[in-house]
C-alpha cells in the first residue's frame, strides 16, 4: 500500500470537493487546463500504476469528449458560424465552449476517480463518523447495508432464471420488471430486518460507543486537502491573469 | 407464545424444542432483548436476566441467528468481531485483545483484515459466534445456528460452541430441529407447546423417551426415528437427459468439469458435495437455465418430443412439460399474488384449456395440503408451506424431469417426510428426479444414483 493509499479517505473527499468547487465557478479552457496539468504532475505521487489508471478512468475519457461534442453541435453560437444544419450550429463560440467543457469534465472527473480508487468503504465510514462526526447509526448502518448489495445482485439473477423455469421467460421482459422488483424488495426487506436484528443484538445503537480502529487526521491529511485547494486556486489565478475568467453566474 | 414459566440457572445448557409456531424464536428474541417495544406486540408477565429486564446494551446476552448471510456486519474479520465490543464502549486495546481471544475460541485462524465475504457458511457462523463471545456474555442464545450449513459446517459450529462453554462456563439456550447434533452438548431439554406453556422439561434422554412420538409428529428430528425410506415400485425407464464431459460455470468461469451422467425415468439422482462445489450450477445447467461452458447436455428423443436436443436453447414455454426446476429459495420463483394463481401460471403459459387448468390446480392444492391457503399471498406462507408451493408450481405442468436445489434446507422433520413421500410418488409415476443436497439422510432415503462433486 502506498503512502497515499493510507491517507484518510475524508481528506481525499475534501480535496476532490474543493477542487471541483473551484472549477465549477468558471467555464474557460485556461483554468481547466491548469488544473489538469497540475493533477498530471501530482499523479505519480498519488497514483495507481498506469494500467490501473486507464482501467479506472476510461469512462471519464469517454464522457468528456461526448459532452464536448454535444456542446459543439448545440452550444450557444457566437462569432463565425461554420456549419448550420437543423438545430446544429457550429460556431467560434460553440467550439471554444466545447473545448472548455471537455477539459473541465476531465479536470474534475480524473482527480475524483484517482483519489477515490484507493478508498475502502470501511475506512471512509470510520472517517465520516470519527473525523466529520456524522451520526454513527447512519454511517455504520449504511456500511453494513452496502454488504447486502452483492446478495441483491445474486437474487436478481435467480429471479431471472426462475422466470424462464416457470415458462414465462419468452416475452415481456420489460413487463416483468415491476414484478421482479417487488420480489427483490420483499427479499431485501427481509434480509435488512435480519441484519438489523443481528446488529441490535450486538448492542448497536447504545449511548456510548468506542472505535476499534482510530481514524487519524494528521499532517498527511492536511497536505492532501491543501493540495486540492492549491490546485483549484492556481487554476482560478491562471484564468484571471490571462483574462479568460468566465464566471458561471455572470 | 403464552404461559411460559421457566427458571434457567447459570451454567445450564438447554435445548429448546417445539413445533413451528410454538414461539421458540420469539422466546430467544425476548431473552436477547431484541423483540421490540410495546408498539410491535403484546406482552404479559415478567422476564428477567440477572434480575434485570433484558437489554442488548448490558452485554450479558449473545444471540446467533440461523442465516449466515445476514449476520456478517462488517467487511473485515477483525472489525466484525470488534463490532459488539465497540457498541458496549470498551477501550480500544481491550477490544483487540478480546477479538484475538474470541477468534481462537471458535477456532477461526484468519487474518484480521481478511474479507468476510469470502468465508464459507460454517466460517460465517463461527465468526458471528466470535463476535458475540467478544462481548463476554453470560448467556449464549443460538437460534437454529446450523440449519443452513453443510455437514462439515454443522460440526465446526457445534464443536466451537461446546469448546467455548467448557472454557467460559456460560449458560446456553439453543433452538434446533436436529436434536442429534446438540444432544452431546446440552443437559436439559425444554419442549414448548403451540397452545402455550411448556409440555416437557428435564433430562434430555428422559424427555426424548417420554415425548419422542409427540416431538417427531410435530417436526422435531428425534434421534433414531428419522431413518425412513419409502417403498418404491417403478423400474428405470428410458433415458431422458445425458451430460457428456460437461463443464459448468458462470460467466465463463468453470466451477466443475468432466461431468458425465444420465437421467432416466423413475430414477432419483443425488448431487452431493460441500458448499461451493458447483451443485447448484450443475443443477441449473441440466435444467436448461444456464449454458454449459464446455461439453454438452443432450435431451433424448423421449424428452425432446420434437424440438432441438439442447435444453438451454429451448423456449421458456417448452421447458414446462419437459424440465421443472425448484429453486433453493422458494421466493425466487413466486410470480402471482395468490397461491391459486401461482399454480395457474405454468398451465396457462402452456395454453391449456380453462377447465383443465382448474382441475390440475385443485388436485395440487389438495395433494399438497394447500387448499385452505388458496387465496393467500405466497410471500406470507410459512417456510414449509412455501416449499410445498414451490414444488407444486413445478408439478402443475407435469414435467418429465424435476430438478430440485437443496429441497430439505432448514426443513423440519415433518415437511421433510412429506417431501420424500411426494418425490417417491413422482418417481413411481415415471418422472426422473434430480436433487442437489447436503442432506445424507435424504440421499439415503431416496437416491438411486449419486454424483459426488
Higher pLDDT, B10 or B1: B10
Is B56–A201 a contact, with Cβ atoms under 8 angstroms apart?
yes
Is A166–B335 a contact, with Cβ atoms under 8 angstroms apart?
yes
With cell 416483468, the residue in question is A176
| Number of other residues whose CB lies within 10 A of the CB of residue B331 | 20
Considering only the beta carbons, identify the residue of B61, B87, B349 that sits closest to A204. Answer: B87
Asked if A203 and B57 count as a contact pair (C-beta separation under 8 A), the reply is: yes
Inform me whether the C-beta atom of residue A6 falls under 8 Å from chain B C-beta atoms. no
Asked if A163 and A179 count as a contact pair (C-beta separation under 8 A), the reply is: no
Best B26, B85, B87, B397 member to test A by mutation, with max A CBs in 10 Å, is: B87
Asked if B307 and B314 count as a contact pair (C-beta separation under 8 A), the reply is: yes
Among A7-16, A208-217, B272-281, B291-300, which stretch is predicted with the lowest mean pLDDT? B272-281
- For B401, the grid coordinates are 424431469
Is A121–B76 a contact, with Cβ atoms under 8 angstroms apart?
no
Q: What is the DSSP string of B346-366?
A: HHHHTT--HHHHHHHHHHHHH
- pLDDT recorded at residue B38: 55
- pLDDT recorded at residue A245: 85
Q: What is the ipTM of this complex?
A: 0.85
- Which CA distances in Å does A60 have to A27, A54, A102, A113, A118? 18, 10, 10, 9, 17
Asked if B228 and B244 count as a contact pair (C-beta separation under 8 A), the reply is: no
CA distance A211 to B88: 10
Inform me whether the C-beta atom of residue B335 falls under 8 Å from chain A C-beta atoms. yes
- pLDDT recorded at residue A64: 93
Inform me whether the C-beta atom of residue A135 falls under 8 Å from chain B C-beta atoms. no
In chain A, what is the straight-line distance between the N-terminal and C-terminal CA atoms, in Å? 45
Considering only the beta carbons, identify the residue of B65, B69, B320 that sits closest to A197. Answer: B65
Contacts of A194 in chain B (CB under 8 A): 65, 67, 70-71
pLDDT tens readout for residues A200-235: 999 998 778 899 999 999 999 999 999 999 999 999
Cα of B362 to nearest chain A Cα, Å: 19
Contacts of A178 in chain B (CB under 8 A): none
pLDDT tens readout for residues B51-65: 788 888 778 899 998
pTM (global) more than 0.80: yes
Inform me whether the C-beta atom of residue B350 falls under 8 Å from chain A C-beta atoms. yes
Eight-state DSSP code of residue B429: T
Residue ranges and CATH numbers for the domains of chain B are 13-217 (3.40.50.300), 239-452 (3.40.50.300)
Is A165–B324 a contact, with Cβ atoms under 8 angstroms apart?
yes
Considering only the beta carbons, identify the residue of A168, A183, A207 that sits closest to B334. Answer: A183
Cα of A10 to nearest chain B Cα, Å: 19
Phi and psi at residue B304, to the nearest 5°: -65, -40
- pLDDT recorded at residue A1: 57
Residue A249 has pLDDT above 70, yes or no: no
In chain B, what is the straight-line distance between the N-terminal and C-terminal CA atoms, in Å? 43
Is A211–B78 a contact, with Cβ atoms under 8 angstroms apart?
no
CA distance A231 to A196: 43
Residue of B nearest to A157 (CA): B332
Inform me whether the C-beta atom of residue A196 falls under 8 Å from chain B C-beta atoms. no
Considering only the beta carbons, identify the residue of A187, A203, A208 that sits closest to B135. Answer: A203
Q: Say if residue A216 is exposed, middle or buried (CB neighbours under 10 Å; 0-12, 13-18, 19+).
A: middle
For residue B276, give every residue at least 6 positions away whose Cβ sits within 8 Å of its Cβ, in sequence order, or none: B120
pLDDT tens readout for residues B154-197: 888 899 999 989 988 999 999 988 888 899 999 999 988 877 78
Considering only the beta carbons, identify the residue of B73, B317, B379 that sits closest to A170. Answer: B317
Asked if A38 and A243 count as a contact pair (C-beta separation under 8 A), the reply is: no
Question: What's the mean pLDDT in B67-83?
Answer: 91
CA distance A164 to A173: 10
CA distance A169 to A176: 9
Inform me whether the C-beta atom of residue A186 falls under 8 Å from chain B C-beta atoms. yes
Cα of B59 to nearest chain A Cα, Å: 7
Contacts of A188 in chain B (CB under 8 A): none
pLDDT band at B228 (very low <50, low <70, confident <90, very high): confident
Residue A244 has pLDDT above 90, yes or no: no
Q: What percent of chain A has pLDDT over 90?
A: 49
Cα of A180 to nearest chain B Cα, Å: 8
Q: What is the DSSP string of B94-140?
A: HHHHHHHHHHHHTT----TTSBGGG--HHHHHHHHHHHHHTT--SEE
Amino acid at each position: 500500500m502506498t503512502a497515499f493509499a493510507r491517507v484518510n479517505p475524508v481528506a481525499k473527499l475534501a480535496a476532490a470537493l474543493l477542487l471541483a468547487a473551484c472549477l465549477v465557478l468558471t467555464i474557460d479552457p485556461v483554468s481547466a487546463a491548469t488544473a489538469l496539468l497540475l493533477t498530471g504532475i501530482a499523479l505519480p505521487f498519488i497514483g495507481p500504476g498506469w494500467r490501473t489508471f486507464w482501467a479506472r478512468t476510461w469512462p471519464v475519457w469517454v464522457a468528456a469528449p461526448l459532452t464536448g461534442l454535444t456542446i459543439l453541435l448545440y452550444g450557444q453560437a457566437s462569432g463565425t458560424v461554420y456549419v448550420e444544419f437543423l438545430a446544429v450550429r457550429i460556431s467560434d463560440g460553440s467550439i471554444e465552449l466545447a473545448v472548455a467543457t471537455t477539459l473541465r469534465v476531465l479536470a474534475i472527473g480524473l482527480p475524483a476517480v484517482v483519489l477515490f480508487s484507493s478508498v475502502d468503504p470501511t475506512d471512509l465510514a470510520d472517517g465520516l463518523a470519527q473525523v466529520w462526526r456524522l451520526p454513527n447509526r447512519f454511517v455504520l448502518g449504511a456500511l453494513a447495508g452496502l454488504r447486502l448489495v452483492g446478495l441483491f445482485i445474486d437474487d436478481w439473477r435467480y429471479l431471472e432464471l426462475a422466470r424462464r423455469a416457470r415458462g414465462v421467460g419468452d416475452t415481456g421482459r420489460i413487463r416483468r420488471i415491476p414484478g421482479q422488483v417487488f420480489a427483490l424488495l420483499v427479499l431485501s426487506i427481509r434480509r435488512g430486518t435480519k441484519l438489523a436484528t443481528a446488529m441490535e443484538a450486538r448492542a448497536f445503537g447504545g449511548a456510548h460507543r468506542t472505535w476499534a480502529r482510530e481514524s487519524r487526521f494528521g499532517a498527511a491529511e492536511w497536505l492532501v486537502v491543501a493540495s486540492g485547494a492549491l490546485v483549484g486556486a492556481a487554476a482560478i489565478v491562471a484564468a484571471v491573469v490571462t483574462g479568460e475568467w468566465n464566471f458561471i453566474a455572470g | 407464545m403464552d404461559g411460559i414459566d421457566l427458571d434457567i440457572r447459570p451454567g445450564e445448557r438447554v435445548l429448546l424444542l417445539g413445533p413451528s409456531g410454538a414461539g421458540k424464536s420469539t422466546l430467544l428474541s425476548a431473552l436477547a432483548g431484541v423483540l421490540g417495544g410495546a408498539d410491535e406486540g403484546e406482552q404479559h408477565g415478567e422476564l428477567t436476566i440477572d434480575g434485570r429486564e433484558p437489554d442488548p446494551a448490558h452485554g450479558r446476552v449473545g444471540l446467533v441467528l440461523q442465516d449466515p448471510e445476514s449476520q456478517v456486519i462488517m467487511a473485515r474479520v477483525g472489525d466484525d468481531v470488534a463490532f459488539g465490543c465497540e457498541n458496549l464502549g470498551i477501550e480500544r486495546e481491550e477490544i483487540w485483545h478480546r477479538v484475538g481471544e474470541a477468534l481462537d475460541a471458535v477456532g477461526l485462524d484468519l487474518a484480521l483484515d481478511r474479507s468476510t465475504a469470502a468465508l464459507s457458511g460454517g466460517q460465517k457462523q463461527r465468526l458471528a459466534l466470535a463476535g458475540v463471545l467478544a462481548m463476554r456474555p453470560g448467556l449464549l442464545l443460538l437460534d437454529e445456528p446450523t440449519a443452513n450449513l453443510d455437514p462439515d459446517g454443522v460440526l465446526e459450529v457445534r464443536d466451537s460452541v461446546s469448546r467455548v462453554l467448557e472454557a467460559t462456563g456460560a449458560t446456553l439456550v439453543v433452538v434446533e430441529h436436529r436434536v442429534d447434533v446438540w444432544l452431546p452438548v446440552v443437559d436439559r431439554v425444554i419442549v414448548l407447546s403451540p397452545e402455550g406453556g411448556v409440555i416437557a422439561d428435564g433430562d434430555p434422554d428422559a424427555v426424548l423417551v417420554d415425548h419422542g412420538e409427540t416431538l417427531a409428529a410435530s417436526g422435531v428430528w428425534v434421534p433414531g426415528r428419522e431413518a425412513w425410506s419409502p417403498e418404491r415400485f417403478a423400474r428405470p425407464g428410458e433415458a431422458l437427459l445425458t451430460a457428456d464431459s460437461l463443464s459448468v460455470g458462470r460467466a465463463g468461469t468453470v466451477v466443475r468439469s468432466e461431468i458425465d451422467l444420465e437421467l432416466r425415468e423413475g430414477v432419483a439422482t443425488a448431487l452431493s458435495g460441500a458448499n461451493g462445489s458447483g451443485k447448484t450450477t450443475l443443477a441449473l445447467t441440466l435444467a436448461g437455465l444456464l449454458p454449459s461452458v464446455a461439453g454438452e447436455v443432450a435431451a433424448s428423443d423421449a424428452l425432446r418430443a420434437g424440438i432441438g436436443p439442447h435444453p438451454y436453447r429451448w423456449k421458456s414455454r417448452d421447458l414446462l412439460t419437459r424440465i421443472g426446476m425448484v429453486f433453493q429459495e422458494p421466493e425466487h420463483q413466486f410470480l402471482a399474488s395468490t397461491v391459486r394463481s401461482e399454480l395457474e401460471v405454468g398451465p396457462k403459459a402452456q395454453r391449456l384449456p380453462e377447465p383443465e387448468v382448474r382441475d390440475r390446480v385443485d388436485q395440487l392444492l389438495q395433494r399438497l395440503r394447500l387448499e385452505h391457503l388458496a387465496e393467500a399471498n405466497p410471500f406470507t406462507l410459512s417456510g414449509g408451506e412455501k416449499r410445498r408451493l414451490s414444488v407444486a408450481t413445478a408439478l402443475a405442468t407435469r414435467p418429465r424431469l424435476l430438478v430440485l436445489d437443496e429441497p430439505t434446507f432448514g426443513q423440519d422433520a415433518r415437511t421433510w417426510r412429506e417431501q420424500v413421500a411426494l418425490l417417491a410418488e413422482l418417481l413411481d409415476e415415471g418422472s426422473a428426479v434430480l436433487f442437489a443436497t447436503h442432506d445424507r439422510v435424504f440421499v439415503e432415503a431416496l437416491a438411486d444414483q449419486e454424483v459426488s462433486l
